[in-house]
Amino acid sequence: MTEFEDIRSELRSLSDPEKAKFLAGFFKTGPGEYGEGDRFLGVVVPKIRKVARKHLQASRKEIRKLLSSAFHEERLTALLILVEQYRRGDEQTQKGIFDLYLAGTAKINNWDLVDLTAQHIVGEHLSGRDRSVLTKLALSKNLWERRISILSTFCYIRQGESDETLRIAELLMQDSHDLIHKAVGWMLREVGNRCSFAKECEFLDRHAVEMPRTMLRYAIERFPAELRSRYMQKRGQALTRKGSAVKVASLRS
């Protein structure tokens, strides 16, 4: 058997039909939902990690096969192998993995696949390099590429750098999808927790009134109650004024 076949066999031996049913609902795979059509074996992440660790020598060809799978767990296994191969690889290997990752975004198509990998491959690879690719991803029509753009910046937050996160957050400020609102709010919260609370507050002072409600709520989740209330009131008052202005304009037209 090839390593690809071994991995598939091991994952299937760990499958749980009831868990698969639960995961299909949890990751919104129904018609019109963000994970529409995705299929699950019913294997939890700790077990997937164990399988991935056993197959870190998998070839790029085998990983591509896994990444093309209809099953979520097989794609996640491929991505976790890539994360570890990137960490251990030389510069040439890392560049190949980075290119493979960006070429495969159509299959990195749910929030867990992005969140567990983007910072470790895209973020790490662009550290100390031109990051214009993050702008391209942030402006993409692909939901998951936009999420990759902001989650990749977690790498820099962990290094104490917030500027890239704030730059991408501004690009995504008016995004229409709730999953982007949550991701941006989460990264802003991490800026405050790990880099600079003052910088997060400065950003919110400029943008809280225009932020989607979910984004703001995630960003201020761990603020003192009084400060959370102040930001929410500020946003609410701005929306009330905007609504009144629209009503007056409509009456005058």
Q: What is the pLDDT of residues 89-101, one digit of tens each?
A: 999 999 999 999 9
Query: Domain check: are 210 and 243 in the same one?
Result: yes
Query: Domain check: are 101 and 121 in the same one?
Result: no
pLDDT at 3 over 80: yes
How many other CB atoms are found less than 10 A from the CB of residue 250?
8
Concatenated DSSP letters of 103-128 = HTTTT--SHHHHHTTHIIIIIHHHTT
The one-character DSSP state at 177 is: -
Last residue of a domain, one of 80, 106, 132: 106
pLDDT at 238 over 90: no
Q: Which pLDDT does position 235 carry in this prediction?
A: 76
Name the nearest CA neighbour of 215 among 233, 235, 230. Answer: 235
Query: Domain check: are 160 and 190 in the same one?
Result: yes
Query: Domain check: are 176 and 246 in the same one?
Result: yes
Query: Domain check: are 121 and 66 in the same one?
Result: no
Q: Which pLDDT does position 17 carry in this prediction?
A: 96
Rounded Cα gap, residues 118 and 148, in angstroms: 6
Convert the pLDDT of each residue in 170-204 to its tens digit.
999 999 999 999 999 999 999 999 999 999 999 99
Helix (H, G, I), strand (E, B) or coil at 99: helix
Structure tokens at 50: 């164990």
111 in a domain, yes or no?
Answer: no
Q: Which residues form the domain of 140?
A: 117-253
Last residue of a domain, one of 83, 106, 129: 106
Q: Euclidean distance between the first and final Cα of the chain, in Å?
A: 73
Q: How many domains does the chain have?
A: 2
Q: Which pLDDT does position 245 carry in this prediction?
A: 38
The whole-model pTM stands at: 0.92
Convert the pLDDT of each residue in 147-174 to its tens digit.
999 999 999 999 999 999 999 999 999 9
Last residue of a domain, one of 106, 128, 160: 106
58 in a domain, yes or no?
Answer: yes
pLDDT at 251 over 60: no
Residue for token pair 């299929």: 39
How many other CB atoms are found less than 10 A from the CB of residue 164?
21
Q: Is 175 left (phi over 0), alpha (psi -120 to 50) or beta?
A: beta
Give the domain CATH number at 156. 1.25.10.90
Task: Indicate the average pLDDT of the chain.
Answer: 93
Convert the pLDDT of each residue in 42-74 to its tens digit.
999 999 999 999 999 999 999 999 999 999 999
pLDDT at 246 over 50: no
